[in-house]
Copies of this chain bind each other. A is one copy, B any other.
C-alpha cells in the first residue's frame, strides 16, 4: 500500500501568519500522497465576539447555535481554508479546499440532545473514501475544514481532531496512514513548560496514568483519545508533533 500522510493542524499554528507559513513550507516537503485537516484556532471566537455573538462553552466544548455555525462556516470553510489553499498553490502544491459537504466527503448526524444541546454539531457517520482516492490519484492535495453535512442540506460543525481521525481510519483500508497531530509544542510534554521533557512513545496504559495524575489534561485528552482510536482501527502511525517536525517525523509516537 502507498503511504498517505494526514496532517491535522490547529490552534496557534493556523492563527499566526508566520507559524502557518512555516508549516506550509514543511508540509510542502512531504513526499507522496498527503492531506491537511485544519481547525480554526481562536479566530472564530474572535469574529463571533466582533459580531456580537456570544460563544457558549460547556465542559470546554463549544455550543454551536445557528449563528455560531454561520461563523465557523465563514472562518473555517472560507477564511482559514482558502488562505491555506492559496499558500500551498504558491508553493506549487495542488491544494483543493474542502468541507465534508463537498463531494459529500463526510456525512454526519446532528448530535442528539441529552443533558446538553450542543446545537449544530455533527458526529461522523460516513467518510466517502472513493472521492478522496480519486482526488489523490490526480495528485490533488485535499485541505479539509472541520465542517460536515447531514445529507439533507444542513451543515454541521465537527471537531477537527475527530475529522482527521475518522478520515484516517476510513482510508487505512487503502493506504499506510501516517496521522500527525501538529500543534505548537514538540510533542506530549511531562512538564508543559519544558520542551526537553517530551515523551517519545506513549501507550494507552501510560496515557491513562498521566490522565489520572493530571500530567496530560485539557485539549490534549480528546486529541490523544482520537489518536489511540485511529491506531486501534488500522492507522499505521500516529504522531503528536509541532509544525517544524511534520517532515522529519519527530514527536510523541502513539504505540
Chain A positions within 8 Å of B, measured between CB atoms, are 47, 50-52, 70, 73-79, 81-83, 85-87, 89-90, 94-99, 101-104, 134, 138, 140, 147, 149, 151-155
Q: A75-B74, A152-B90 are in contact. Are A99 and B97 (CB under 8 A)?
A: yes
Bound together, the chains give a CA A78 to CA B101 distance in angstroms of 12
- Smallest CB-CB A-B distances: 10 pairs: A78-B78, A74-B74, A90-B153, A77-B78, A74-B78, A86-B101, A86-B149, A77-B82, A85-B101, A74-B79
Assembly CA distance A74 to B140 (angstroms): 23
Secondary structure class of chain A's binding surface, majority of residues: helix
B77 touches A81 (CB 8 A): yes
CB-CB < 8 A to A97: which residues of B? 77, 97-99, 101-102
Shortest Cβ gap from A90 to chain B (Å): 4
Whether B101 and A89, one on each chain, are in contact in the complex, defined by CB atoms closer than 8 angstroms, is yes
Contact A90 B47 (CB under 8 A): no
